[in-house]
Amino acid sequence: MSWQRTPPDHVIVIFGANGDLSRRKLLPALFHLHCEGLMPRRYRIIGNSRSELSDDGFRNLAREAIERFSGLGPDDERFGEFAETLSYVSHDFRPDDTDPLHSALDRAEREVGGEPRRLFYLAVPPTAFPTITEALGKCGITQRCRVVFEKPFGTDLESFRELDRLVHSVLEEDQVYRIDHFLGKEAVQNILALRFANGMFEPIWNRNYIDHVQIDVPEEIDVGRRAGFYEQTGALRDMLVTHLFQVLAFVAMEPPASLDPEPLMDERDKVFDVMAQMTPDDIVRGQYDGYREAEGVAPDSTTETFVAARVCLENWRWKDVPFYLRTGKGMAEKRSAVTLAFRSPPMRMFPDFVDPRRFAPNHLTFELGPHDGVVLAFLAKKPGPSIELGRAHMEFRYTSAFGDLIGDYERLIHDAMIGDRTLFSRGDGIEAAWKVVQPVLDDPGPLYVYPRGSWGPDAIDRLIAPRQWHFPVSRSHAFEPVERSDR
């Protein structure tokens, strides 16, 4: 596995180093890699933002972040080693003012020695991508560098193309790492392993045996302090075109010639080429009750905090097999899963058992978190003199089988340092995805209000009918959706 390799010497620059993403994910991930011996032998980390902060202040911020958000406690000795690599530049890095960061980079490279590689991580709002990218080119520090862009990469087809042109005016494609942390999840990668390494699954991975596929990423938390960002983005741009589409591609792709980066990325991106363009009838948009009261949200906001979608693939393998995608904030629980629902047998020997109001029992579920694993649900005979069926399941759990998992950000940061782009998104695939959703961006359809702690608007049942959502069977709140007319 690529994450077992030691990266070359590096200087890492985190733009937006005091922000939420840096504190929750990046700094804990880098410390975890340090503790596991997966960082370069010699490296430095430079934090950057406009906020005033000293080197020691940044080290304190890192310690607090690791204590709060990492499963690892900051062992004094190991954190002391890690802290020595940290420095900070308070500076608004832009094309007409690059000297402070450039000087800090030169200083860090002299400390490392030789010609270390450079990794620039843009943990900033997408609106800042063009300015920072142009500044990197202006000050001439793109040699030996790779640049990690967080999602979303663009907000529609036109903005994607504009950003892509700018990025490629400064960087070569092999320097561009468009990150989607869902692709770093072991459970997502296990979809490939289960399917292609086991002869029992690939023969039935098609329209002849699979009725439909569901991809669910509900979140309990609301938008919190990210309301200002979320108001400009929404669930469709923030989650559907990124996380859920990328997971769909892993499920639906054709077998690659090998697991090398280019063949795998080629097959993954071909999935977007065969997606039918979506229409307003293919989505349900929702907004949780109280969203408009959050700071930074317009009082008449039509931004969706929930989206469910029906996606169809126009190819031989998946023709007439709908993919149902669902994600939202303020929902009943946090639980991410991919479920393949198999077709019913052509003749029913046990007709009395089937309840059309319930989700069919013959399905395979990949749990993507928080309890990563695979669950196979089926019917079995109950003990007794008569043939009576009951629901049964078999489970595989990663932690019980293999121990602790490497985190998604750890995996992807490590891959970026060693130059492995397998689990990153390619520009042509993202462009094709924006083409699929552009019609619903132009005409998004109605917006429904749903209560926090629910599973979204009731309109999602009409979207999937006559099928049922995998979870839950019943909602914690019974209600009728209220359609907003202020579109």
Q: What is the pLDDT of residues 169-212, one digit of tens each?
A: 999 999 999 998 888 888 888 888 888 988 889 999 999 999 99
Alpha carbon 462 to its chain centroid, in Å, reads 27
**pLDDT at residue 126 greater than cutoff 50:** yes
Q: Where is 461: in which H helix or E strand?
A: helix 459-464
**What's the longest Cα–Cα distance across the chain?**
83
Q: In what order do the strands lie in the sheet containing 482-484?
A: 389-397, 373-381, 363-369, 336-342, 210-218, 323-328, 306-311, 283-288, 447-450, 482-484
Domain with CATH 3.30.360.10 in the chain: 183-484
Active site residue 243: yes
Q: At 481, is the pLDDT very low, low, confident or very high (cuts 50, 70, 90)? A: very low
Q: Which of 26-35, 97-106, 353-362 has the lowest mean pLDDT?
A: 353-362
**Strand-pair partners of 275:** 313
Within 13 A of 362's CA, how many CA atoms are on the CB side? 12
Amino acid at 61: L
Q: Is the pLDDT of residue 477 over 50?
A: no
pTM attached to this predicted model = 0.89
Distances, alpha carbon 211 to alpha carbons 30, 76, 253, 317, in Å: 42, 54, 17, 12
Task: Name the CATH superfamily for 2-150.
Answer: NAD(P)-binding Rossmann-like Domain (3.40.50.720)
Give me 348's structure tokens: 């029913």
The pLDDT score that the predictor gives to residue 185 is: 85
Three-state secondary-structure class, residue 181: helix
CA-CA-CA-CA dihedral for 437, 442, 445, 449, to nearest 10: 80
State residue 361's pLDDT score.
64
Comparing 76 with 477, the larger pLDDT belongs to 76
Candidates 243, 363, 414, 470; catalytic one: 243
Let me know: does 466 contact 322? Beta carbons within 8 Å: no
Average pLDDT estimate for 60-70: 92
Model pLDDT, residue 70: 82
For residue range 153-164, list pLDDT tens digits in order.
889 999 999 999
Tokens of 374: 């695979």
User: pLDDT of 313-371, one tens digit each?
Assistant: 999 999 999 999 999 999 998 888 999 999 877 766 665 555 544 445 688 999 887 78
Give per-residue pLDDT as tens, 257-274: 888 888 999 999 999 999
- Is the pLDDT reported for residue 479 higher than 70? no
> Has residue 2 got a pLDDT over 60?
no
CATH of domain 183-484: 3.30.360.10
Report the pLDDT averaged over residues 400-410: 79
